[in-house]
Chain A
Amino acid sequence: MSTIVLEHVSRWYRNVVAVNDVSMTIGPGVTGLLGPNGAGKSTLIAMMSGFLAPSTGTVTLDGEPLWRNEAVYRKIGLVPEREALFDYLTGRQFVVANAELHGLADPGAAAQASIALVEMTDAQDRTISTYSKGMRQRIKMASSLVHDPSVLLLDEPFNGMDPRQRMHLMELLRTMGAEGRTVLFSSHILEEVEQVARQIEVVVAGRHAASGDFGAIRRLMTDRPNRFVLRTDDDRTMASALLADDSVRGARLRPEGGIEIEASDFGRFSQVLPRLARDHGIRLLEVTPTDESLESVFAYLVSA
């Protein structure tokens, strides 16, 4: 059982802030790191895998620092997002090499077990340069699992996988999590995360925007009034149409133009709004969430 702890971690590249004051604890089970592209997910995973030093704050694995500490790799299996592998090796040679580098007693047997786990036994003797994107992803998985790590970090692991491979990997991650391993994977697709992860950490624009199980994230969106500003080509008609619906608690016409809406049921509101606009022949010009604390979460989750 291993736990990764991030405490007030920030990371900037010159004057660009990639990760801003993030604190989170990743424990046993499957955790999904959800966020749009460029949100800082890869930067966080790089710091959690000891491949990047935080500019401020600390990142530890079971109390041990990850930066400049090679010993942590006994516990960590890493599947990077980048596709580059040792293309001139066969899949089997690659996984065996990884097993040897871990100093395993029987690298051949460990490699075979790991390759079988990702269903690559048939293709293991082909050179990696001939592999499809999904096969590369799976051989990367095999190499990261070969030493039976207690922590598995995967950066966008579902990229390039076909639906069957995706289902298989999801099942594999669930099993790993159920076995008590600490599994963290990043994704920008909400559906992927909700199917696998027990715990979800939402990262938007470098900030830790929300945390909890999928139900908690959803409740965050639905169980509290959400405020929006709408701009339409007929604000008055739009406001009255929305007020007639149960999902809207209040509407106010702004002197500078636009309508301030307080929605009580976000899920229903998001369905009703376009329908009402269409029924009344109103053109929606802008829908902006104004709830500062959750704006980013909404913006992302709605777009997802």
Chain B
Amino acid sequence: MSVAFSTTVARIGVQSVFGRRRGVLLFVLPAVLVGLAVLVRLLVGEDELAARHTLYGLGLVVVVPLVALLATTGLLAPEIDDGSISYLLAKPISRYTIVLSKLAVAAACVVAFAVVPVLAAGLVLRTGDPAFGLGFALGALAGGLAYCALFALLSVLTRHAVVVGLIYLLIWESLLGGLLDGVRWLSVSRWSAAIAEPVADVPLVDGLGMGYALVANVVVIVLGVWLTGRRLRAFNLTGDE
């Protein structure tokens, strides 16, 4: 089966994300980020440290992964949970077509609800330094795509993808990432910070090169897509295992 983009899968995906109540959260998260950026700018002016903490602490570590989690799990998890994905799978199309088409929708959500708001917040916080916002936006894009691939895999592995995803974000990315230095090698948000660093020209993570971060990001995306498609090929309709 050849792999191709399916507009039908993508169209159903868009309706799936925005047809449910939690799709509203996709609008709330960037609004909070941009709102906070405006507030910080008004309260402390064009301050590099405050801007960096806002875009990194709230943008890359909170908004980007949550948008990716909401979009990706909204596209896959409910269909797997209620079995309606069988209507997509009982078709003579490659499982990778389904995964890639859904991930394209998730990626578009990441761009619209995380990357663009990060860029906008960056421009609000440091109007005189557009490279600052652009660097964080690039980091958000790379991190967002890796998170999408990761959460897509999670959606086909467990019926509790949202909960497991939140636990992963809270424990691994936030708590342990802050406590243990070594976690940076296996942390998507640290990788996205390392990608943002050289363009934004700010210090974010120590000892993590952009090259490593880019390669690690690509590995996660490729592995995530491959394993998700593989898992979908072996989808059990009875779901009793």
Is B174 engaged at the interface, CB distance under 8 Å to the other chain? no
Chain B hits for A43, CB < 8 A: 238
How many chain B residues touch A (CB < 8 A): the figure is 32
| With known contacts A51-B86, A84-B82, A70–B237 Cβ distance under 8 A | no
CB contact list, B95-141 vs A, under 8 A:
95
Is A74 engaged at the interface, CB distance under 8 Å to the other chain? yes
- B: which residues have CB within 8 A of A? 1, 6-9, 11-12, 15-16, 19-20, 82-84, 86-95, 233-238, 240-241
Do residues A68 and B82 form an inter-chain contact, with CB atoms below 8 A? no
Distance A14 CA – B240 CA, assembled complex (angstroms): 10
Partner of A49, one of B12, B83, B233, B237: B237
Distance A195 CA – B240 CA, assembled complex (angstroms): 32
- A: which residues have CB within 8 A of B? 13-14, 18, 42-43, 46, 49-53, 68, 70-74, 76, 78, 80, 82, 84-89, 94, 97-98, 100-103, 143-144
Partner of B8, one of A53, A74, A87, A100: A100
Do residues B233 and A89 form an inter-chain contact, with CB atoms below 8 A? no
The main secondary structure of chain B at its interface with chain A is: loop
Do residues A49 and B84 form an inter-chain contact, with CB atoms below 8 A? no
| With known contacts A70-B1, A73-B92, A101-B6, A51–B236 Cβ distance under 8 A | yes
Do residues A101 and B91 form an inter-chain contact, with CB atoms below 8 A? yes
With A18-B240, A49-B90, A76-B90 given, name 8 new contacts (CB 8 A). A51-B236, A82-B84, A84-B83, A94-B87, A97-B12, A101-B8, A103-B92, A144-B90
Distance A13 CA – B240 CA, assembled complex (angstroms): 7
Do residues B16 and A51 form an inter-chain contact, with CB atoms below 8 A? no
Distance A46 CA – B238 CA, assembled complex (angstroms): 7
Distance A42 CA – B240 CA, assembled complex (angstroms): 11
Chain A hits for B9, CB < 8 A: 101
Chain B hits for A101, CB < 8 A: 6, 8-9, 88, 91, 93
| With known contacts A52-B238, A85-B84, A70–B19 Cβ distance under 8 A | no
Q: Can you report 19 A-B residue pairs in the complex whose CB atoms are below 8 A from each other? A: A46-B237, A50-B90, A51-B90, A52-B238, A68-B233, A68-B234, A70-B91, A71-B92, A78-B90, A80-B237, A82-B82, A85-B84, A86-B84, A87-B19, A101-B6, A101-B93, A102-B92, A103-B93, A143-B87
